[in-house]
Chains A and B, each alone.
Chain A
Amino acid sequence: EVQLVESGGGLVQPGGSLRLSCAASGFTFSSYSMNWVRQAPGKGLEWVSYISSSSSTIYYADSVKGRFTISRDNAKNSLYLQMNSLRAEDTAVYYCARISGLTFDYWGQGTLVTVSS
């Protein structure tokens, strides 16, 4: 069974940093590209970042470019999102999601990030 479990969310002040993790199991992690997708309270989903299976290809949404860094450790079956210079508008539930083809086929339960003073 595919499982994705996010962690690392919490309350952080504007301008602060946070590192999210996503632990994967139930599939060959190193064979799949992964993504981070977020959902602000009461809002729709927003794609945040993509990383290929070998980390050779990485993309970001314009809203986080230059502030967020996606990475992965295939030996640890883990995906990460380093978030710097956080803003109030970054407040959201952050999901990690596996890509199959060009579709997000499995999602974690999410971790809540709240940016507030």
Chain B
Amino acid sequence: QSALTQPRSVSGSPGQSVTISCTGTSSDVGGYNYVSWYQQHPGKAPKLMIYDVSKRPSGVPDRFSGSKSGNTASLTISGLQAEDEADYCCCSYAGSYTWVFGGGTKLTVL
């Protein structure tokens, strides 16, 4: 159960787009279309932003989108806003009711 690999940090200016990658293996990201992304502000609980690779829960702006290719999933945030500054973590189902998370990526809005 090794953690998924994410960049430690990414940054972008307001209005720009950023993409956060999440690399796993064929036993998790590559094997299932059950990748989710969570936004976490300091001291707060994680908030679901994307599920099943590319689906958005109601209330999440369409500036947030997800995709997957092979063993790598990606979260793209377009039209960056100051409020998007947070930690983002990916998660993948890994079979037999087990899950694996990424190490988290800190997004800085410049």
Give A residues with C-beta under 8 Å from B: 33, 35, 37, 43-47, 50, 52, 57, 59, 61-63, 95, 101-110
- Partner among A62, A103, A110 whose Cβ is within 8 Å of the Cβ of B52: A103
Q: Is the CB of B91 within 8 A of A104?
A: yes
Q: Is the CB of B89 within 8 A of A44?
A: yes
Seed contacts A35-B99, A109-B44; 11 additional CB < 8 Å A-B pairs = A44-B101, A44-B104, A45-B38, A59-B97, A62-B1, A102-B32, A102-B34, A102-B93, A103-B34, A104-B36, A107-B47
The CA-CA distance from A61 to B97 in the complex, in Å, is 10
Contact with A along B23-41 (1 / 0, CB 8 A): 0000000001010101000
Q: Is the CB of B98 within 8 A of A50?
A: yes
What are the 5 A-B residue pairs with the smallest beta carbon separation, nearest first? A44-B103, A103-B51, A45-B101, A47-B99, A107-B45
Give B residues with C-beta under 8 Å from A: 1, 3, 32, 34, 36, 38, 44-48, 51-52, 57, 89, 91, 93, 96-104
Chain A contacts for B44, CB-based, 8 A: 109
Contact flag A61-B48 (CB < 8 Å), given A44-B104, A45-B101, A47-B100: no
Chain A contacts for B36, CB-based, 8 A: 103-104
Q: Which residue of B lies closest to A4 (CB)?
A: B45
Chain B contacts for A107, CB-based, 8 A: 45-47
